[in-house]
Amino acid sequence: MRAMVIATTGGPGSLTLAEVPLPTKLNSEVLVKVMAAGVNPIDAKTRAGAGVSAGITSFPVILGCDFSGVVVESPYEAFPLKPGDEVFGMVPVPRMAGCYAEFVTVPSLSVARKPTRLSHLEAAGVPLAALTAWGAVVDVAKAHEGQRILIHAGAGGVGHFAVQFAAYFGAHVIATGSPRNLGWLRELGAAEVIDYTMTRFEEVLSGVDVVIDLIGNVHDDTGSRSLRVLRSGGLLVNVPSGSWPTLAADAAAVGVRATTYRVAPDGSTLAVIGRLLEAGDVHVTLDSVFELTAAADAHTAIESGHARGKIVLDLGNRA
């Protein structure tokens, strides 16, 4: 099968097209023909030698954590998902080969039925970003009516789901974004929007219950400044891995709570998200679509930090 691989960590040009063996399905795994694959910041970080690159045991490596496709082989005859069923899900890269490839094997507990109203391209943009947003907003922050939640980078892949989930559960959502995204963030459900190019959010906010930090403390001290807007005992959820080594101490020093978050490839939660997508209560937005062979360009685009919604790869597996 065709796959985009890296033979070593490095820049976007490290991604090259190769012919690799078809993956072997074992035990309870599902073999899926990949129609489209999501592109996420963790992919680019891992390719560059950060992210989860420490888990790479040998090269070449296929990156790509989420996908939409069609079941080719089920774990057993009575399994609910049959060959021909459309699914979407997540792969634990680099423990397993990723989905920048024409086929992928994935644990059966990490997939769910694709919402019928979504194309494969749209569905591929959902799993990692939506599961991350759900984990931070619903599982950790426990979004509810009356709660004030500040979401940084609300227009990004994770952010645009976080805004929608928080609003769906009744929270008063405040989102930071660039001028071109302010109106769109309101459409997603933000009650307040802050143009970060014109306004220092800590100068206009206070008493916030929760901050969903999708930037980290790596740019303009966004994380440290966020601690100042939380109420006493408020919560900051830091999503970018390794972006804030002193998080716990910094939060404790000002009397607030803080935690990092790591997404899990949970098919049951993805099925719940799928029902929200099917009902039209939540939407996925695609920023751009690249062919598989243009994965390097997709990585350059996501590293720019200006994508609205999701970037995906089209595998061209239509027949």
Does the structure show a pLDDT above 60 at 39? Answer: yes
**CATH fold label, 129-260:** Rossmann fold (3.40.50)
Distances in Å between the alpha carbon of 257 and those of 187, 230, 289? 30, 9, 39
> Would you give the DSSP letter of residue 54?
G
CATH number at 2-126+284-314: 3.90.180.10
By CB neighbour count within 10 A (0-12 exposed, 13-18 middle, 19+ buried), where does 272 fall?
middle
Q: Which of 274, 266, 272, 268 is CA-nearest to residue 123? A: 274
Domain ranges of the chain: 2-126+284-314, 129-260
pTM of the predicted structure, to 2 decimals = 0.97
Does the structure show a pLDDT above 70 at 18? Answer: yes
Does the structure show a pLDDT above 80 at 95? Answer: yes
pLDDT digits (tens, 9 = 90+) for 237-249: 999 877 789 999 9
Q: Assign 215 to helix, strand or coil.
A: coil
pLDDT digits (tens, 9 = 90+) for 126-156: 999 999 999 999 999 999 999 999 999 999 9
In percent, the amount of the chain with pLDDT more than 90 equals 94
Distance, in Å, from the CA atom of 14 to the CA atom of 7, rounded to the nearest integer, reads 7
Does the structure show a pLDDT above 70 at 319? Answer: no
Mean pLDDT of the chain: 96
